[in-house]
Amino acid sequence: MDHELRKRGTRRDAFLHKLGLGPVVMGILNVTPDSFFDGGRLQDVEAAVAHARKLIAEGCGIVDVGGESARPGAVPITAAEELARIEPVLASLAQAVDAAFSIDTSKAEVAARALELGAIAVNDVGGLQKDAEMADVVAAAEAIVVIMHNRAEKDEAIDIVAELRRFFDASLRLADRAGIPRDRIILDPGIGFGKTSRQNRDAIARLPELKDYGLPILVGASRKAFLGSLMEDRAEASLSGTIAVNLAAAAAGASIFRVHEVAEHVAALKVFHAIRQGQT
């Protein structure tokens, strides 16, 4: 057990170190039947492991494993159902691949089991506010947590950055009380979650207004529907639109990008970072 804890800690620290060196790509591995873009494609363990290998080979810094769709209108599932989906995949990945993994969940029970199986981070779409035990689970495992902003309903009247700050302040208080160190916290504005198309765009354009938190920012805009409103052909699931929004987010201060297509983003962000750093 001590060996596994040390190995997980080493992977965690290596991932955190990467964040200080340049953009990091998080590859999406959904083992769900109903995710909005890739639902049903990777429910078989062998297929999921093969896809994880592909994401890693293409250069992602961490693989984000999800067992429940968070898309609008998705039917909620129990922790037992979610665990049935992710446990065999994580167990196989732990044996087959030497890489960093995170668990995309809002349930503390699921997060705890994923961390036992080797995940180094919890990507919490509930931002520590949906499950009262989540912060304690993260703290006990000495894991990284991604605090994602989420709203139950859209409200076009609100100032989205003021709302982000209100939410993050509440979540950070929960993290502090649980004893999660600030250097293991990542913020995510929750693109596509309870926001209008305009608010999604504003959240990305105004990321610099979150810099005073001093925390890394993750953006998960891959294949999101709001991209269609920015393109003449309304190609809502376009790769080109996803790359464009992620480069805009990188320019605004984001450092982690949760995507379906890893190779294309690694290449685009490498060029972006080289130019930003004045390299040739």
> CB 271: neighbour CB atoms within 10 A?
11
Handedness of CA 22, 202, 170, 103 (dihedral sign): negative
Catalytic site residue 258? Answer: yes
The question of whether 224 is a catalytic residue gets the answer yes
What's the pLDDT at 69?
81
- The whole-number pLDDT of residue 7 equals 86
Angle between helices 239-252 and 197-205 (to 10 degrees): 40
**Active-site hit among 85, 107, 184, 258:** 258
Q: How far apart are CA 151 and CA 166, in angstroms?
A: 12
> Contact, 91 vs 119, CB < 8 A?
no
The one catalytic residue in 224, 234, 270, 276 is: 224
> What is d(CA 53, CA 167) in angstroms, rounded to the nearest whole number?
35
Please state the domain count of the chain: 1
Q: Look at residue 234 in the predicted model and tell me its pLDDT.
A: 55
Segments of the chain with pLDDT less than 70: 1, 34-43, 71-73, 225-237, 279-280
Structural domain that includes position 86: 2-276
Helix (H) or strand (E) holding 7: helix 2-19
Residue 23, pLDDT score: 96
**Which helix (H) or strand (E) is 67 found in, with range?**
none
pLDDT of residue 35: 44
Question: What pLDDT was estimated at residue 228?
Answer: 57
The amino acid present at 80, given as its one-letter code, is: A
User: What are residue 102's DSSP bridge partners?
Assistant: 64, 121
Distances (CA, A) of 141 to 74, 80, 159: 29, 21, 35
Residue 166's domain is classified under what CATH number?
A: 3.20.20.20
What pLDDT is recorded for position 278?
A: 80
In this prediction, residue 38 carries a pLDDT of 45
pLDDT value, residue 80: 95
Name 27's bridge partners. Answer: 63, 259
210 within 8 A of 164, measured Cβ to Cβ = yes
pLDDT score of 6: 85
